[in-house]
Amino acid sequence: AQSVTQLGSHVSVSEGALVLLRCNYSSSVPPYLFWYVQYPNQGLQLLLKYTSAATLVKGINGFEAEFKKSETSFHLTKPSAHMSDAAEYFCAVTIASGNTPLVFGKGTRLSVIA
Amino acid sequence: IAGITQAPTSQILAAGRRMTLRCTQDMRHNAMYWYRQDLGLGLRLIHYSNTAGTTGKGEVPDGYSVSRANTDDFPLTLASAVPSQTSVYFCASSASGLVTDTQYFGPGTRLTVL
């Protein structure tokens, strides 16, 4: 079965600093990986996804993530944090075969300090 | 364009009562999903439907039932609510049910079972 582990339930950065949210996956077959963001009192929305094309994936709002098979990682980064980036971020994994549902990580709450 | 609507926004329910959470999408998506979100556990899939007339069980289906009579609606029913079903419930949809599809989420229903 697939799983993801998000390291750090809460990350705090200063405005303008690098954002790095960590996600490691476990899968016996090549995975598809996703990052979703949840702003306060809202549903989730897709930031970006890796579906076996380019390993460096660019998403919305300046975020990107790199699929590293050797490290089983799919960390999310943004060069310069904005106050509006404060939210909960979820990494998720699935695989190509059948109707395997998305498996979400437990989430990382990002705080941005002025 | 509304996307996905959920009702009610929040509800306090006595244990043992029956409750139906409503979900409607106007995107003509084939696949729909119900998740529950609990602090520290992330999102967990309850039930899903890849097309009207079909449903499937997710990770945590016990105590919940769903139906998919048409493309737009995907109600979730708690036949006899228990306190452990206190959670935030999110409905989502995707165009075709393929694992690479983006899922679009509703705003959620906050349910408290006393």
Does the structure show a pLDDT above 70 at B31?
yes
B106 CA to chain A: closest CA distance, Å? 5
Task: Answer whether B92 sits within 8 Å of A43, measured CB to CB.
Answer: yes
Mean pLDDT along residues B16-38: 96
Task: Answer whether A107 sits within 8 Å of B108, measured CB to CB.
Answer: no
Closest CA to B104 of B112, B96, A69: B96
Q: For chain A, say whether B9 makes contact (Cβ under 8 Å).
A: no
HSE (CB half, 13 Å, CA atoms) of A49? 17
CA distance linking residue B25 with residue B11, whole number of Å: 21
Residue-wise pLDDT for A44-86, tens only, equals 999 999 988 789 999 999 999 999 999 999 999 999 999 999 9
Residue-wise pLDDT for B91-104, tens only, equals 999 998 788 889 99
Closest partner residue to B105 among A43, A101, A105, by Cβ?
A: A43
Order the strands of the A3-7 sheet from edge to edge: A3-7, A19-26, A73-78, A64-68, A56-58
Q: Alpha carbon of B74 to those of A23, A67, B21: distances in Å?
A: 31, 34, 9
B62 CA to chain A: closest CA distance, Å? 17
List chain A residues with CB under 8 Å of B41. 106
B100 CA to chain A: closest CA distance, Å? 7
Residue-wise pLDDT for B35-86, tens only, equals 999 988 889 999 999 999 999 999 999 999 999 999 999 999 999 999 999 9
Closest partner residue to A99 among B50, B100, B106, by Cβ?
A: B50
